[in-house]
Amino acid sequence: MNVIFIEPSFPYNQREFVRGLHAAGANVIGIGERPVSQLSDELKGWLGDYLQIGSVVHEPTLLEAVKAVQRKLWVDRLEATIEAHIMAAASVREAVGIPGTSTKTAYLCRDKPAMKEALRKAGIPCAQSTRAESPQDARDFAAAVGYPLIIKPPAGAGASGTYRVRDEKALERVIEESGLAQGQAVAVEEFIEGHEGFIDTVTIDGKVGHEFITHYYPNVLEAMRQRWISPQMVATNRINEPGYEEVRELTREVIGILDIGTSATHMEWFYGPKGLKFSEIGCRPPGVGQWDVYNAANEFDLYYEWACAIVHGKTQHRPSRRYSAGMIALRPERDGRISGYSGVDAIGSRYGDCIVAAHLPDQGTPTQPVEAGYMANAWMRVRHPDYDELRRILNEIGETVRVHAG
């Protein structure tokens, strides 16, 4: 099978998808923005060919590159795994007749107001939402729904550019800061109280082949606004217990309604006083290296499993569910440059056998702002067979390890 893969070298874990495709027997043709001289020898060894273009999200440029590949050989699949690349890949895929995620599905998985409108019509429990194209649209929605509200870019990922609006004064400030006052459309949503998590799948012809559930501690918006918090994302190995049946079934309903075929998916959800509520879904893997967490928890290779779904139409191995695994972000005490760490040795001596990966930037490394995300500064990945014990260990790491900056 000949598979075009969009942007194989950046970010770094993109190479893992290429590795998986190569291991599954595919001839992988990379299309990316970096010169071939910047690709590692290992990555080049997994690629059958590589084309450099100016932009992988500029559809005419990407289309011409794909046509150039098609003039040389038959292309069976065209794959993209980064949120910003999904729509361009779908448009080109449709233009040249390559099977895969349609532009309709890609659009509904990218545009949050359209996504929720389609799912509400199908009976999926969602927050009330709208697309605001003018300040008055946002004011009218606030008057109808009340506060608090969430305002974010229609196609944003994670908490990027997201605001929680508590009252009319805050709304007017966010209208300016979000760009809505200058004509930039935003998604405006009812704020849903409750615990936040996500469920990730590898789906084959609309059927779930693999699935994993992760919890946020605390919820994302709070985690991205408070420096003192060491936020955690913790994948459970209790996914088959009755308490998860509802969210697993909801995922299958959403996949069917949005006509997601063979793809990775990433679906966010809330559970609180109003019950289980759908938040959003992407037809792509999660970010922040979360598949590496699943690999550590389940003692298998999810990149290879995804590749087998693409190449062979089936997965190959079952996850062990032996461990729960989680990632904890460790923030510098202030902005500046890393000056050192404390508590790392103590944690290593107690839980070194549970720590499967860690990133502790060298002294002198510039810090990144809190809003830059979970992996922007220091972090650790940890696993343990018992979910509750893992949570205790992660809490202890957050209370013990300090990232000093000056």
**What is the pLDDT, as a whole number, of residue 156?**
61
Average pLDDT estimate for 58-68: 98
**What is the pLDDT, as a whole number, of residue 226?**
87
Average pLDDT estimate for 191-204: 95
**What is the pLDDT, as a whole number, of residue 14?**
97
Average pLDDT estimate for 50-69: 98
Q: In the Cβ-directed half-sphere of 284, how many Cα atoms lie within 13 Å?
A: 25
User: Phi then psi for 229, rounded to 5 degrees?
Assistant: -80, 135
Is residue 210 a contact partner of residue 307, using CB atoms and an 8 Å limit? no
Q: What percent of the chain has pLDDT over 70?
A: 99
- 195-405 shares the fold of 128-190: no
* CATH-assigned architecture of domain 195-405: 2-Layer Sandwich (3.30)
Q: What percent of the chain has pLDDT over 90?
A: 91
Rounded-to-integer distance, Cα 374 and Cα 359, Å: 11
Domain ranges of the chain: 2-100, 128-190, 195-405
Where does 74-172 show beta strands of DSSP type E? 77-79, 129-132, 149-152, 163-165
Q: How many CB atoms lie within 10 A of CB 240?
A: 10
How would you write 196-245 as a 3-class SS string? EEEEEEEEECCEEEEEEEEEEECCHHHHCCCCCCCCEEEECCCCCCHHHH
**What is the pLDDT, as a whole number, of residue 128?**
87
Pairing mode of beta strands 324-330, 232-235: antiparallel
Burial class of 155 by CB neighbour count within 10 A (0 to 12, 13 to 18, 19+):
middle
Rounded-to-integer distance, Cα 110 and Cα 88, Å: 11
pLDDT tens profile 28-53: 999 999 999 999 999 999 999 999 99
How many DSSP H helices and E strands does the chain contain? 14, 18
Average pLDDT estimate for 188-208: 95
Q: Which residues contact 222 (CB under 8 A, 6 or more apart)?
A: 229
pLDDT tens profile 155-186: 665 566 889 899 999 999 999 999 999 999 99
Q: Average per-residue pLDDT in the chain?
A: 95
Average pLDDT estimate for 296-324: 98
Say whether pTM exceeds 0.85: yes
Average pLDDT estimate for 229-253: 97
For residue 242, is the peptide bond before it cis, meaning its omega torsion is within 30 degrees of 0? no
- The topology (CATH level 3) of 128-190 is Dna Ligase; domain 1 (3.30.1490)
The domain 2-100 is placed in CATH, from the list 3.40.50.300, 3.40.50.20, 3.50.50.60, 3.40.50.2300, at: 3.40.50.20
Greatest alpha-carbon pair distance for the chain in Å reads 59
Among candidate residues 280, 287, 276, the one with its CA nearest the CA of residue 258: 280
pLDDT tens profile 110-164: 998 899 999 999 999 998 889 999 999 999 999 999 999 999 888 665 566 889 8
Residue 225 has pLDDT above 90, yes or no: no
Average pLDDT estimate for 245-274: 97
